[in-house]
A = this chain, B = another copy of it.
Amino acid sequence: MGVAECLSRIHARDGAVRAWAYVDRSATGGEGPLAGVVLGVKDVIDVAGMPTTHGSPIYADNIAAQDAAAVALLRAAGAAVLGKTVTAEFATYHPGPTVNPRKVGHTPGGSSSGSAAAVADGQADIALGTQTAGSMIRPGSFCGTLAFKPTIGRYPVAGVLDTAPSLDTLGLFARNLDVLVAADAVLGGTADCPAPRAPLRIGLCRMPTWDQASAEMQDALIDFAAQLHEGGCVLSEVTLPEPFARLQDAQMLIHRTEAAQVLGAIRHEHPGDVSEEFRAMIDAGTATDPADYAAARAVQDECKRLLPAVFAASDLLLAPGAPGAAPEGIGATGDPLFQRIWTAVGAPCLGFPAAWRSDGLPLGLQVIGLPGTDRQLLADAQTIIAHAALKEA
């Protein structure tokens, strides 16, 4: 697409979808591998000359002096920087006005709400997002678009809001896998294109939270695995070792504790301008016993060490992308209970729509790779995507 087509789409749809915090109607792209690609930037990431509000009224007038490193790289590669996309407050839980473009009474997920909605709805080709708990894969699942959370640290985070430094991960939404692969090369600095592994060995991973998935999500996962099997993939079941059952709670404790450290000052200096959810999270994080934090980090480290064994017989794991389809209402962004553990171990995850309900909402899954294998995962994704239910806006 081009800037004109995206602006036209925004004109037609923004009143309903409300994905954007700021739009530069004079945006233009340049030459390079991303020429013609239109970019949206989550509003916790700096774009020179545009406000970075972090989804908070406290930062309404916070104009960025320079591009974040990732924005500068994408711009230099030719992408047109169209504007800033709505984020939940400080990339945590309190949502902005964005609705799900597939069904407007439902949440788009969050915290990367506007990035997921804008890309799914054809208002941008790609968008930057961040994930600390489940802020990319969940909105991708709810909105029905590709969401790629690479290995932690793969994309540079200078100019991106810190919310929990041992978990914060920068990533990309896209509708088209080739465009995603090109943008990943720009941001990741490694442009190799390995051949897809064949036969691809898929580990069906129900995760410790399986019983909290909706029946239709469980069915979507089982059905999709069957399609991969028919398509020539080798399927097996992968049960995560015991420490992973403790990783969900450990991630939550690490998240709130580190958030209290880096965002606590905002909560205390502006108590009337933060949401109840944010206040409660920060206060809980402030109260963490240091011994509990150390224990949670030990669980995280133990799970990271166990990853090679988890992937011993599988090239990729296949898991739900969310507990179900996007919940009704825009007051909250849904539950990250199918993403926290993968964020905590820093593993690359690619979310994609696997099936669609009759009401227009998608059911999204994710594949997970070993940390550091991002380019191989994106190559293997061709095999996955051949069976996925990608749908244009």
Task: Collect the chain B residues with CB atoms within 8 Å of residue A176's CB.
Answer: none
Interface centre among A327, A329, A333, by most chain B C-beta atoms within 10 angstroms, is: A329
Q: Is A335 an interface residue, CB under 8 A from the partner?
A: yes
Chain B residues with CB below 8 A from A95, complex form: 276, 331
Give A335-352 as 1s and 0s: 1 = Cβ < 8 Å from B's Cβ atoms. 111000000000000000
What is the bound-complex CA distance between A244 and B6, given in angstroms? 40
A327: chain B residues at CB < 8 Å are 332, 334-335
A243 to chain B, nearest CB (A): 17
Q: Is A284 positioned at the interface, with any CB of B under 8 Å from its CB?
A: yes
Q: Which residues of B contact A277 (CB under 8 A)?
A: 329-331
Cβ-closest chain B residue relative to A279: B97
Q: Would A99 and B280 count as touching, CB distance under 8 A?
A: yes
Question: Is residue A236 within 8 Å, beta carbon to beta carbon, of the partner chain?
Answer: no
- A211 within 8 Å of B (CB atoms): yes
Cα(A185)–Cα(B170), bound, Å? 59
Are A276 and B97 in touch, CB under 8 angstroms?
yes
* Per-residue contact bits, chain A 368-385, to B (CB 8 Å; 1 contact, 0 not): 000000000000000000
Question: For this complex, into which size category does the number of interface residues on chain A fall?
Answer: 35 or more
A 269-282 to B, binary, CB cutoff 8 A, 1 in contact else 0? 00000011100100
Residues of B within 8 A of A218 (CB): 215
Complex contacts, A215 vs chain B, CB 8 Å: 210-215, 218
- Which residues on B sit within 8 Å (CB–CB) of A292? none
B residues near A275, Cβ cutoff 8 Å? 331
* Chain B nearest Cβ from A268, distance in angstroms: 17
In the complex, A95→B214 CA distance in Å? 24
A93 interface residue (CB < 8 Å to B)? yes
Given contacts A331-B331, A332-B329, A337-B328, contact A211 B211 (CB under 8 A): no
In the complex, A241 has a CB within 8 A of chain B: no
Tell me the minimal C-beta distance from A334 to chain B in angstroms. 8
CB distance from A43 to the nearest CB of B (A): 15
Query: A194 on the interface (CB 8 Å rule)?
Result: no
A150 at the interface (CB under 8 A from B): no
Checking B276, B323, B330 against A280 with a beta-carbon cut-off of 8 angstroms, the contacting residue is B330
Contact present for A335 and B328 (CB under 8 Å): yes
The answer to whether A93 and B331 touch across the interface, beta carbons within 8 angstroms, is yes
Q: Which of A219, A276, A331, A333 has the most CB of B within 10 A?
A: A331
Chain A stretch 96-133: residues in CB contact (< 8 A) with chain B? 96-97, 99, 104-105
- Give A contacts to B, CB under 8 Å: 93-97, 99, 104-105, 210-216, 218-219, 252, 275-277, 280, 284, 323-325, 327-337
User: What 9 new A-B contacts, CB under 8 Å, besides A212-B216, A329-B335, A332-B332?
Assistant: A94-B331, A95-B276, A96-B276, A211-B215, A212-B215, A212-B324, A214-B324, A277-B331, A328-B336
